[in-house]
Structure 1
């Protein structure tokens, strides 16, 4: 019972991350979001917890998983097309992903979104990496007990050993993300 309550609280927090109505979609003029400052919290290697299995269908009809990138640094970004801060950080993620391609893998987790809207967003942004379509929020909930994303947008950096090395709540800034990804990659 307690785990279910915690799961529901986490899901509610994520759904409320960027404002929306009961369907998880924003209403006209709705500009509320959880005000993460985008600062990245880095965890010491001894304090890192293993990331749960992450897998799901992608917006382009394929499948993406954390396991497919075993031994590599992976950046997981939780976003939604209706989230203003998510839109604002998309070019930053695209640029860092492009500059670290081969060494670091990026996977977007599209959360509480309409698939058509998410596909349109990706078509516009052309990030160059896969995005799991996670309308119900199962991927975010799988991080319960480790380092939950806790807001939209959120970014988790997974180290080569499959542990959560860093987390940012809110839109990330280029220098912060590039410096953290480089640090975790070079460990």
Structure 2
């Protein structure tokens, strides 16, 4: 009988468990996005969101008094610049989650570009989050192909989606998803799935009009 090797097996087992625990947050995010990839899901976000869901167009909105602040959304854009969404407070901010691999994302891209150009003078800033693109070059090519007039954060692992949308808020639950912040940096509206021009304007017009 050789009892001397047992501690080494125990040490290796603990090391393997620690390694699995270290990668769990990224794996959880990736799995969640995979389930909702390229399609819309049910409204939610955990906890009491106090939102009003529209079954007709799939746009969820939050009354002004019940809105909650967005979390930290900061990182490098596809063109290598640093962007912190918190610095955009004072503007209506449209956050669109997309991936170059996603067909509905390609379908909605011209609509996003059109409305972004039309509303820039009204104090609206669009920001993309390119997720699950393991090759950054694919995201850059997507932006150029559709002449996107706004920056996109590069978030291949989905970490920004995990930290940026706290529990109890309207959060992205698939790709594509669009979340709109009011001028106070609070989450005001969300659409799961692709958007057309009329849907974007329906989300934005009430927030642009808010005082």
Query: How many residues are treated as equivalent by the alignment?
Result: 170
Structure in which a larger fraction of residues adopt helix: 2
Question: Residues 7, 120 of structure 1: CA spacing in aligned structure 2 closer, same or farther, 3 A cutoff?
Answer: closer
Report the Cα offset of residue 34 of structure 1. Answer: 2.9
Question: Residues 86, 129 of structure 1: CA spacing in aligned structure 2 closer, same or farther, 3 A cutoff?
Answer: same
Gaps of 5+ in 1: 19-32
Root-mean-square deviation (Å): 2.1
Question: Residues 132, 177 of structure 1: CA spacing in aligned structure 2 closer, same or farther, 3 A cutoff?
Answer: same
State whether structure 2 residue 183 is matched by structure 1 residue 164: no
| 1:155-179 deviation per Cα after TM superposition (whole angstroms, max 9, x unaligned) | 0000011110000000012111112
State whether structure 2 residue 113 is matched by structure 1 residue 94: yes
Question: Residues 182, 140 of structure 1: CA spacing in aligned structure 2 closer, same or farther, 3 A cutoff?
Answer: same
Gaps of 5+ in 2: 1-22, 42-55
How does 1:1-187 map onto structure 2 within 5 Å?
9=28, 11-18=30-37, 33-36=38-41, 39-102=58-121, 103-113=123-133, 114-142=135-163, 143-145=165-167, 146-187=169-210
Give the structure-2-normalised TM-score.
0.74
Question: Residues 38, 150 of structure 1: CA spacing in aligned structure 2 closer, same or farther, 3 A cutoff?
Answer: farther
- Distance in 2 separating the partners of 1:107 and 1:75: 6
| 1:72-123 deviation per Cα after TM superposition (whole angstroms, max 9, x unaligned) | 1100000000000000000010011000013100000000102011111111
Structure 1 segments (4+ residues) deviating >6 Å? 4-7
Report the Cα offset of residue 151 of structure 1. Answer: 0.5
Report the Cα offset of residue 185 of structure 1. Answer: 1.4
- Distance in 2 separating the partners of 1:154 and 1:87: 13
Give the structure-1-normalised TM-score.
0.83
Q: Secondary structure at the match of 1:101?
A: helix
* Larger Rg belongs to: 2
Q: In 2, are the aligned partners of 1:40 and 1:177 still within 8 Å (CA)?
A: no
Q: In 2, are the aligned partners of 1:38 and 1:172 still within 8 Å (CA)?
A: no
